Chain A
């Protein structure tokens, strides 16, 4: 009989142990007397985490009464976490956000008005407006980026092809040049296809159309179809890898891109990715202006905030949150540590002070942006609700076009219809 008894005890024990472990996972937050604890959240790779932590340490030294708890993750998991925390009423006090989700968060009342909290006098005015939603400064840009063509000079040299004159080149030049590189023999390609919405934005602007207008899209079906067609033509001209290879490449990041692996001469990327591309390839990567429509008088390139700092409207420590954001964007000591990792700083004083110490890649992108500053189009304002879905949508229809499942015209119309349902 006693062996039966011995079965009850382990069961009790297991239950007890489990509930004990569960009970231990309680909340240990809360701040002490007069001291403020700020939770800060961002995404990125190890390098960014280390830099940001370093800057935060300097901030904590300056502000003894503020303690920072950082919660960072990689990009893929970032929004899931941030959104879940926000939905649970447990949003971090300060967090990084990008332009596509900014409108959504702001219009749902999740962001604090930063107007009185962060001094913005020294910040680039044009860029600053992209952090406004319906006239309120909900977010402060971390720095500026341009969407560019990157050229791997070593691959150009191997192919025996000269770099283009990017101040005047057209989409046709881009295609024939790419084909020339691929045709030079060897296991290299001219360029890598790209379905980024920033690309379509400039393509449309060159034809006099704006991508977003009010709550919806401003771009026409003809333009989207023409844009899809350039991708098809590029494959046909063998300027880029075949459709299936392009699809495979498209799903990966800059480190595995053709230019970063020295397998391709060109590709389109954001300027703050220059450093990653250069490190990956070990060769000199040059930034080029986007090709243009023959009828356009400008390339319509624009500066876009790489990302923004925002504060939660539910935070009880908004003043401290403002202080931290102020430090991150306005203090030269932070600028020195963070460099251009989140885009080139948009505070002129900070920029001048750190210019000399910038790494080569950052210096190159600064020079590039300074060189074209006069012809730049206005930065985009916060996107309509639902804009988060547009990039994936564009890429999906792009893949259907190059895989031959839909014609450019069909895909363009389908894209506009679907986008119409998602936006606003």
Chain B
């Protein structure tokens, strides 16, 4: 999962120098088997591949083309070159606002979410009774987190008369409408994303299970304490998993849409404080009838996420430790 390269089985050294007739036959059979295996693989890929070609690829390429036009969805369009891309940075403060909002959201919520997931995975890994139950319960928010229902619930929780204010009231703190105040609205969405820590947590748990117990035993015998064991064994051996989660969650967070859409009423309210990148793409495309511009924004997001992921892979050389290297 983490190690994306699956090693092809290498040829086993032959016992004799010249290929014996039976070895040739053996090799042929193996090649046939390999080919058949590949066929099976491709066949399993086929439904996805057919879908990609028939449904996704066309619109994808079309949107790349349209990003260089002034396509409005309703009428004719003309080639405008890089005008859309230029406008983003020179003539559209809302674009920059959306970019900033999304960057804050991603770079605050993802590290928090991963830290939270790792901490809980460590606790759960200590062999608590009823682990499957806890695991399922903590995983639930991940399944529900991006649903409309949860976003509606969030509005209620962080509204002026919401649950969160009732809780603060217990301590005599006077709350406010957290989703109505431009300085806190984005914060509620960050909390929502952190709350969906279940899926990285489950992956962390699986990773923790892979670390041989003998390492810990040996370290304990040498007198290493809990902190030392965590820093010198758990963390290094878990880096591939952390890396994997980081890449995945970063990409996910950049694409967040539903939560902000529902919490903000579909237009980034209050005062554009929850205007996410994807939501702005949507608004431009479908509310303002500027599909060409929206396409350009979508492709720019591809560039952002692509380069961030590439950067991540480059950086990973310096901190991700693969046990088999």
Contacts and interface: CB of A to CB of B under 8 A. Distances in A.
Interface of A: 4, 7-8, 11-12, 14-15, 18-19, 22, 76, 79-80, 83-84, 86-87, 104-105, 107-110, 241-252, 386, 388-389, 392, 395-396, 399-400, 403, 405, 421-422
B74 interface: yes
B287 A247 contact: no
A80 B286 contact: yes
Contact of A8 (B40, B91, B272): B40
Contact of A389 (B37, B47, B288): B288
Given A8-B36, A15-B43, 15 more contacts: A7-B40, A11-B44, A12-B43, A18-B47, A18-B50, A84-B73, A87-B74, A104-B289, A110-B75, A244-B160, A245-B176, A248-B160, A392-B267, A399-B270, A403-B181
B269 A395 contact: yes
A22 B46 CA distance: 14
A403 B270 contact: yes
B43 A86 contact: no
23 contacts: A15-B43, A19-B50, A76-B266, A83-B74, A104-B289, A107-B75, A110-B74, A243-B180, A244-B160, A244-B177, A246-B180, A247-B182, A247-B269, A248-B160, A248-B270, A251-B270, A388-B287, A389-B287, A389-B288, A395-B269, A399-B271, A403-B182, A403-B270
Q: Which of B44, B50, B159, B270 has the most CB of A within 10 A?
A: B270
A421 B266 CA distance: 22
B168 interface: no
Given A15-B50, A83-B74, A248 B288 contact: no
B201 interface: no
A87 B290 CA distance: 12
A104 B37 CA distance: 56
A248 B271 CA distance: 11
B39 interface: yes
A386 B288 contact: yes
B73 A86 contact: yes
Interface in B256-292: 264-272, 286-289, 291
A392 B287 contact: yes
Contacts of A76: 266
B47 A242 contact: no
B181 A243 contact: yes
A360 B268 CA distance: 38
A12 B47 CA distance: 9
Q: Which of A79, A247, A421 has the most CB of B within 10 A?
A: A247
A248 B180 contact: yes
Given A247-B177, A248-B180, A109 B75 contact: yes
B33 interface: yes
Q: Which of B51, B268, B288, B291 has the most CB of A within 10 A?
A: B288
Contact of A79 (B160, B183, B286): B286
A250 B160 CA distance: 13
B179 interface: yes
A12 to B, nearest CB: 6
Q: List 8 tightest A-B contacts by C-beta distance, closest first.
A: A248-B180, A11-B43, A251-B265, A247-B180, A108-B75, A247-B270, A244-B180, A108-B74
Contacts of A396: 267-269, 271-272
Contacts of A22: 54
B72 interface: yes
A128 B54 CA distance: 46
Nearest to B176: A244
A252 to B, nearest CB: 7
A245 B160 contact: yes
Contacts of B40: 4, 7-8, 11
Contacts of B181: 243-244, 247, 403
Contacts of B269: 247, 250-251, 395-396, 399
Contacts of A388: 287-289
Contacts of A110: 74-75
Contacts of B180: 243-249
A249 B180 CA distance: 8
Contacts of B33: 4
Given A4-B33, A76-B266, A244-B176, A14 B74 contact: no
